[in-house]
Structure 1
Amino acid sequence: MSTERMPNPAALIPEAMEALMAVNRAVAGAGVDARLLALSHLRTSQINGCAPCVAGGVHQAQRHGVTADQVHAVAAWRETPWFSDEERAALALTEAVTRLADRPDPVPDHVWDMAAKHFDQKELAALLLNIAITNAFNRLNVPTRRQAGQW
């Protein structure tokens, strides 16, 4: 198992951590169901292989009422019956935005249109910011080899 290389860079620059947490607070207050934000956070962190964010995402999801079936199956959400159309739209957007470099059209119209069908512009903004801030935390934790359980 790999060891920690250094603390999370945002922890070394307290103003940066405060700014990241301010974005989290703004997203949380934007009116999107906390369950959706938790599912999006968890799926982004799974894709990026960020152990502390996956572990934290599971706890966050459970706190906000995400079912055990959903928590265990979020990586295979397309193949399960446990997600609503709204959750599926959020998860599809999450995957597309997290994997921007994987295809020539990173966020295809069908993915965007499905999300826009379920969320207004402010809610879409909150979802995109949630995905972006989760990716930011993943990109700070993964290269520094942060381990799950290190809060």
Structure 2
Amino acid sequence: MKARMQNPAMMLPDAMKAINLLYKAAHSAGVPTTTLELIHLRASQINGCSACVDSGARGARKAGETEERLFAVAAWRETSYFTDAERAALALAEAATRLADRADPVPDEIWDEAARHFDEKELAALVLWLATTNFFNRLNATTRQLAPQNWG
């Protein structure tokens, strides 16, 4: 399989400027980088975006994530590797990514649990980062942007 075209965001410089501003804003609100990387990875796994799963795992490793936690992200509920705050962020990530899966896309119990661990500025960052991740997942899946195949 090959990409259908270059990533649309890369083809339009003004789009990348806007995306970079969203990235900067989401990463400046005080949410730990590892938490942002974990939710990026989980949303990308759900959406089947190989490029973002690859970049998410690499980014998480660079931010200090362990292999054990990275391997367990898809099964975060069944492991003891994640803090309560990370679990709340991962639950929010899944709900915000699977909007059509339930009548109330982000139920109060998911939102309230996230709000127990993050203040409004941090919640804004989580929601913006999830929206940006889902945006990239859709661009990449539509145009078949693939993870690099440079394995040894």
Structure 1 residues 89-147: Cα deviation after superposition (integer angstroms, max 9, x where no partner): 00000000000011101001110010000000000000000100000011110110011
- Which aligned pairs between 1:1-151 and structure 2 lie closer than 5 A? 2-149=1-148
User: For 1:119 and 1:79, how far apart are their aligned partners in 2?
Assistant: 23
SS at 1:142 equivalent: helix
User: For 1:105 and 1:46, how far apart are their aligned partners in 2?
Assistant: 22
User: For 2:134 and 2:125, how far apart are their aligned partners in 1?
Assistant: 14
Deviation at 1:30, TM superposition (A): 1.2
Letter in 2 for 1:148: A
TM-score (norm 1): 0.96
Paired-residue identity, %: 58
User: For 1:63 and 1:22, how far apart are their aligned partners in 2?
Assistant: 21
User: For 1:114 and 1:56, how far apart are their aligned partners in 2?
Assistant: 28
Q: Structure 2: state its 5+ residue gaps.
A: none
Across the aligned residues of Structure 1 and Structure 2, the Cα RMSD in angstroms comes to 0.9
User: For 1:22 and 1:39, how far apart are their aligned partners in 2?
Assistant: 20
User: For 2:135 and 2:86, how far apart are their aligned partners in 1?
Assistant: 22
User: For 1:30 and 1:116, how far apart are their aligned partners in 2?
Assistant: 14
Letter in 1 for 2:126: L
Q: Structure 1: state its 5+ residue gaps.
A: none
TM-score (norm 2): 0.96
Letter in 1 for 2:105: P
